[in-house]
């Protein structure tokens, strides 16, 4: 988008879409031009607030003809810059499209507008004695459209899978303004390409998701949470395997001693265990009765006998479950003010200990003055490596250093057969390294698909694909 002619572009937009609320209020440009990444200065042309499908179509058709870049915008809780508008783009916000459109108790499914929050979907499901299992710390703010665009994960992927597993139907406006209704809520549909799956995880580069049909689950039995103190990295997979064999695990999350120190300081929490350990795990399992708890305790005792575990605590009430979860779910917020450079890496589960060890050694070698805070969804092989720079380092210098660090750490991730984004997406921040996650042939095929749905290249440029094309 050429911002030199911004007033003209804005006038044309407003006259092409007279029924759509379009804001150029500085506070709105500021809030809706950024996501939680906070690594860029927001500079959108305007923020549009469509209320219906036809509004979205009108905006996209105009943008397509005018060559105006669009940034689709949900709850803006992303951590890779996927919803950043820093170059005169039109932000299309789904804040005014938050309605529940349909609930079918027989199908156990709902049809919702893209702007409905993840938390509202969970609450609706619970009120109808059902369950929406996608869960993470920002669920009160994040929106379903954004969850689908990034194929969001969270803490219960181990049991229930990613957002992709929930989506049985999508209504999408492509980059030409065409409307696609994908799969229409069907469970089985063998009538050709399942286009729905192309849009899931496409980070707004193929189309704007306006509606989704989501599969709900039967409410699971009450869960119980354990917080375990491990003796070291070697114990991690042993504890995981033993617990997984013994109980019905729904989450297996880890944090290091540094992460625990941050979450305790940031949220004024006392240390959960008497023994100081290098690693901690927060695990949750189905606990319909005493038997499951006894089995979990037996697994804990085995872990102590075999030298894997040094300490542990098991919740005795729903309130204690929530208290123990705070030690894991509060970490991200507790380090936000330190502006960490976030990494969302994944490897095969069995390779996690080796990966952690090699990555730690590499970062210690190339950035010994930086602090590295690890936590994540270890039961899915998904590790969040947060790099915190020394005090006094300017943001540009910090980002440039992290760029260099990423060149090395992502090369190692590739060498170990992993991915440089597990659940946050590539966005603007990680797109330069797309080639570390996908082969040249895959990228060529992805670009060809992009040209089909977005021939004018207006949808979220610079996200997922590097800015050069």
CA atoms within 13 A on the CB side of 287: 20
**Residue 378 backbone dihedrals phi, psi, to 5 degrees:** -65, -30
Q: Cβ of residue 334: shortest distance to ligand MLT, in angstroms?
A: 10
Q: Which is nearer to ligand MLT, 293 or 399 (CB)?
A: 399
Q: Cβ of residue 406: shortest distance to ligand MLT, in angstroms?
A: 16
Q: Residues in contact with ligand MLT, total (CB under 6 A)? A: 7
- Give the Cα-Cα-Cα angle 143, 328, 403 (nearest 5 degrees): 75
Distance CA 333, CA 73 (A): 21
Rounded to 10 degrees, what is the CA torsion of 243, 245, 247, 250? 80
Q: Cβ of residue 380: shortest distance to ligand MLT, in angstroms?
A: 10
Q: Which is nearer to ligand MLT, 79 or 347 (CB)?
A: 79
Q: Is 384 in the site for ligand MLT (CB under 6 A)?
A: yes
User: Interface mask (CB under 6 A) for ligand MLT, residues 393-422, using x and -?
Assistant: ------------------------------
Tokens of 393: 């380092």
Q: Please give the residue whose beta carbon sits closest to ligand MLT in the complex.
A: 332
Q: Cβ of residue 215: shortest distance to ligand MLT, in angstroms?
A: 23
Q: Cβ of residue 469: shortest distance to ligand MLT, in angstroms?
A: 29
Q: Which is nearer to ligand MLT, 155 or 209 (CB)?
A: 155
Question: Residues 63-68: contacts with CB within 8 Å, 24+ apart?
Answer: 63/13, 63/90, 63/458, 64/175, 64/176, 64/177, 64/456, 64/458, 66/9, 66/12, 66/13, 67/1, 67/456, 67/458, 68/1, 68/9, 68/13, 68/458
Q: Give the SS3 label for residue 281.
A: strand
User: Interface mask (CB under 6 A) for ligand MLT, residues 13-42, using x and -?
Assistant: ------------------------------
Q: Cβ of residue 190: shortest distance to ligand MLT, in angstroms?
A: 35
Distance CA 32, CA 83 (A): 8
Residue 345 is inside which H or E element, if any?
Answer: strand 341-346
Q: Cβ of residue 422: shortest distance to ligand MLT, in angstroms?
A: 9
User: Interface mask (CB under 6 A) for ligand MLT, residues 58-87, using x and -?
Assistant: ---------------------x--------
| Cα→Cα distances 184→80, 160, 197, 212, Å | 30, 22, 13, 9
Q: Which is nearer to ligand MLT, 213 or 386 (CB)?
A: 386
> Taking Cα atoms as reference points, which of 340, 341, 342, 331 lies closest to residue 266?
331
Q: Cβ of residue 292: shortest distance to ligand MLT, in angstroms?
A: 26
Q: Cβ of residue 345: shortest distance to ligand MLT, in angstroms?
A: 11
Q: Is 332 in the site for ligand MLT (CB under 6 A)?
A: yes
Q: What secondary structure letter does DSSP report for 93?
A: E
User: Is residue 459 a contact partner of residue 89, using CB atoms and an 8 Å limit?
Assistant: no
Most distant CA pair in the chain, distance:
73
Within residues 231-270, the interface with ligand MLT by CB under 6 A covers none
Q: Are strands 70-73 and 90-93 parallel, antiparallel or unpaired?
A: parallel
Backbone angle region of 88, left / alpha / beta, with phi > 0 → left and psi within -120 to 50 → alpha: left
Q: Is 137 in the site for ligand MLT (CB under 6 A)?
A: yes
How many of the other CB atoms lie within 10 Å of CB of 138?
A: 22
Within residues 342-381, the interface with ligand MLT by CB under 6 A covers 342, 376
Q: Is 430 in the site for ligand MLT (CB under 6 A)?
A: no
Q: Which is nearer to ligand MLT, 332 or 413 (CB)?
A: 332
Q: Which is nearer to ligand MLT, 139 or 242 (CB)?
A: 139
User: Is residue 376 a contact partner of residue 253, using CB atoms and an 8 Å limit?
Assistant: yes
Distance CA 429, CA 69 (A): 18
Q: What share of the chain is helix, strand, coil (3-state, %, to 5)?
A: 40, 20, 40
Q: Is 118 in the site for ligand MLT (CB under 6 A)?
A: no
Q: Which is nearer to ligand MLT, 69 or 79 (CB)?
A: 79
Q: Cβ of residue 53: shortest distance to ligand MLT, in angstroms?
A: 31
Q: Cβ of residue 306: shortest distance to ligand MLT, in angstroms?
A: 29
Q: Cβ of residue 331: shortest distance to ligand MLT, in angstroms?
A: 6
Distance CA 469, CA 465 (A): 7
Within residues 145-184, the interface with ligand MLT by CB under 6 A covers none
Applying CB under 6 A, the residues found at the interface with ligand MLT are: 79, 136-137, 332, 342, 376, 384
């Amino acid at each position: 988008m050429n911002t030199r002619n911004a007033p003209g572009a804005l006038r044309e937009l407003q006259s092409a879409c007279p029924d759509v609320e379009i804001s150029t209020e500085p506070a709105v440009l500021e809030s809706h031009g950024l996501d939680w990444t906070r690594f860029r200065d927001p500079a959108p042309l305007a923020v549009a607030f469509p209320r219906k499908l036809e509004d979205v179509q009108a905006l996209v058709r105009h943008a397509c003809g005018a060559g105006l870049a669009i940034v689709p915008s949900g709850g803006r809780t992303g951590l890779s810059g996927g919803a950043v508008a820093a170059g005169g783009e039109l932000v299309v916000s789904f804040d005014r499209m938050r309605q529940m459109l349909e609930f079918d108790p027989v199908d156990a499914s709902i049809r919702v507008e893209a702007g409905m929050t993840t938390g509202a979907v969970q609450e609706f499901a619970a009120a109808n004695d059902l369950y929406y299992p996608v869960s993470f710390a920002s669920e009160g703010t994040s929106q379903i459209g954004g969850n689908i665009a990034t194929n969001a994960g969270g803490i219960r992927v181990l049991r229930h899978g990613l957002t992709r597993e929930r989506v049985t139907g999508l209504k999408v406006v492509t980059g030409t303004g065409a409307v696609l209704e994908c799969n229409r809520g069907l469970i089985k549909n063998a009538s050709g390409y399942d286009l729905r799956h192309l849009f899931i995880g496409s980070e707004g580069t193929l189309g704007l998701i306006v509606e989704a049909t989501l599969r709900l689950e039967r409410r699971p039995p009450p869960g119980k949470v354990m917080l375990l103190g491990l003796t070291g990295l070697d114990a991690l997979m042993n504890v995981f395997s033993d617990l997984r064999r013994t109980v019905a695990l729904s989450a297996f999350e880890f944090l290091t001693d540094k992460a625990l120190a941050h979450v305790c300081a940031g949220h004024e929490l006392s240390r959960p265990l008497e023994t100081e350990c290098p690693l901690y795990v927060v695990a949750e399992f189905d606990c319909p009765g005493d038997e499951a708890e006894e089995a979990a305790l037996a697994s804990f005792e085995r872990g102590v006998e075999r030298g894997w575990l040094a300490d542990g605590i098991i919740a005795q009430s729903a309130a204690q479950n929530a208290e123990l979860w705070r030690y894991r779910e509060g970490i991200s917020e507790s380090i936000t003010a330190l502006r960490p450079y976030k990494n969302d890496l994944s490897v095969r589960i069995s390779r996690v200990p080796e990966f952690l060890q090699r990555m730690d050694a590499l970062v210690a070698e190339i950035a010994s003055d930086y602090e590295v805070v690890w936590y994540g969804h270890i039961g899915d092989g998904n590790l969040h490596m947060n790099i915190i720079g020394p005090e006094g380092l300017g943001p540009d210098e910090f980002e440039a250093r992290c760029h260099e660090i990423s060149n090395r750490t992502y090369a190692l991730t590739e060498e170990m057969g992993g991915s440089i984004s597990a659940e946050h997406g590539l966005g603007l921040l990680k797109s330069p390294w797309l080639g570390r996650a996908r082969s040249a042939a895959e990228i060529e095929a992805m670009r060809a698909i992009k040209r089909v749905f977005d021939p004018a290249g207006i949808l979220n440029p610079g996200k997922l694909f590097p800015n050069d094309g």
